[in-house]
Amino acid sequence: MVSIKVEKLTKSFGDFTAVNDVSFSIGKGEVFGLLGPNGAGKTTTISMLATLLPATSGKAEIEGKSITSDQDGVRKSIGIVFQDQSLDDELTAYENMDLHGRLYRMEGKLRKERALELLKLVELEGRKDDLVKTFSGGMRRRLEIARGLLHRPKVLFLDEPTLGLDPQTRNKLWEYIAQLNEAQKITVILTTHYMEEADRLCNRIAIIDRGKIIAVGTPSELKEGIGGDVITVKSENPEGVYARLSKEKWVKRIEKHDGSVTVNLANAEKHIAGMVKMLDGLEISTLSVHKPTLEDVFLHFTGRTIREEEAGAKEEMRMRHRVWSRG
């Protein structure tokens, strides 16, 4: 049972191709993640699927409805939580819900029932008559999720749902999303640049970089795909490290990056002592052993890491904006 089907979707802005020939399909009830650094094309993809941005070429269907020829059908089937907040600050939580219900032409009694039920679900029923401008970032997010679910969409889009939230709130939101998916059998497509988030929430992940999908699979498939444990050696002289280790039989895969070398191998614990001896005399700053993470997967496919500190200026601005609007 397919919920979302995307074929060769492309979006260009002038010379710049933000989304390049992207294809994937998502089954009903799946939690699917688009994982990639800022500017990879995640939000652009979501905007096209949500009919907010026309695609340059390619096609997509959501619950059997085309994003080009049946926009209203698509809009009725989806709920969306945007990356930037989209609540009306001057209205109360309940009024925001009510307004949404009216926009989706829900009948009065049903609108009220569902709004109260969902506000309870996201633990905001006690604050339902307070103006949204008095809410914290986490409360706003929860309200937006509740609002996105009001008209019982078949598909829920979450664009960077936990961006700018503190770790506690983030954890709580993850629980909500997992619960929702379970209880409502709703298909969820979420974008994130947090590895941990993708790993924890998603049944399947598409790694996207520079507008292209570079790998798709379940988190464990992706991690196992790069081969066993990972040893990362940080060194001023990655070439030297590479040269000494690359001929060893137990090394499944070895890759040189800027200032570091990653080695994939089985049973890293057994080999670490021997490895330290082999690297004697080279400038080694750190040496770490860990189970592969999605970060390693991304590094393997792109040669770069997604790190929070890489978060561009745009995100920083956005966070600042959030802090303002909270105050």
Q: Binding to another protein by residue 103, rule CB under 8 A?
A: yes
143-182 mask for another protein (x: CB under 8 A)? ----x-----------------------------------
| CB of 75 or CB of 193, closer to another protein | 75
Question: Which of 99, 178, 272, 319 touches another protein by CB under 8 A?
Answer: 99
**Is 85 a residue that touches another protein (CB under 8 A)?**
yes
95 binds another protein (CB under 8 A): yes
Q: Are the C-beta atoms of residues 305 and 211 closer than 8 Å to each other?
A: no
- From candidates 91, 282, 284, 311, binder to another protein by CB under 8 A: 91
Sheet containing 253-257: order of strands = 253-257, 260-265, 229-235, 284-290
Which of 100, 128, 133 is CA-nearest to residue 116? Answer: 128
CB of 99 to another protein, least distance (A): 6
93 φ, ψ (degrees, to nearest 5): -60, -45
Q: C-beta of 49: minimal distance to another protein in Å? A: 11
The secondary element (H helix, E strand) that includes residue 58 is strand 57-62
Q: 105 vs 109, which CB is nearer to another protein? A: 105
User: Helix, strand, coil % (nearest 5) of the chain?
Assistant: 40, 30, 30
User: Which distant-in-sequence residues (6+ apart) come within 8 Å of 326 by Cβ?
Assistant: 135, 136, 137
Distance between CA atoms of residues 10 and 212, nearest Å? 10
Member of 57, 86, 220, 267 binding another protein (CB under 8 A): 86
Q: Which residue is associated with the tokens 């939101």?
A: 173
The structure tokens listed for 159 are 């664009």
How many residues touch another protein under the rule CB under 8 A: the total is: 26
Q: Report yes or no: 175 and 202 within 8 Å, Cβ to Cβ.
A: no
Contact between 42 and another protein (CB under 8 A)?
Answer: no
Q: Would you count residue 113 as binding another protein (CB under 8 A)? A: no
Cβ at position 177, least distance to another protein in Å: 19
Check residue 76 for interaction with another protein (CB under 8 A): yes
Q: Measured from the CB of residue 81, what is the shortest distance to another protein in angstroms?
A: 10
Question: How many whole angstroms separate alpha carbon 76 and alpha carbon 155?
Answer: 10
As measured in angstroms, the least distance from the Cβ of 92 to another protein is 9
Residues at the contact surface with another protein, assessed by CB under 8 A: 50-52, 72, 75-76, 78, 80, 82, 84-91, 95, 99-100, 102-105, 147, 325
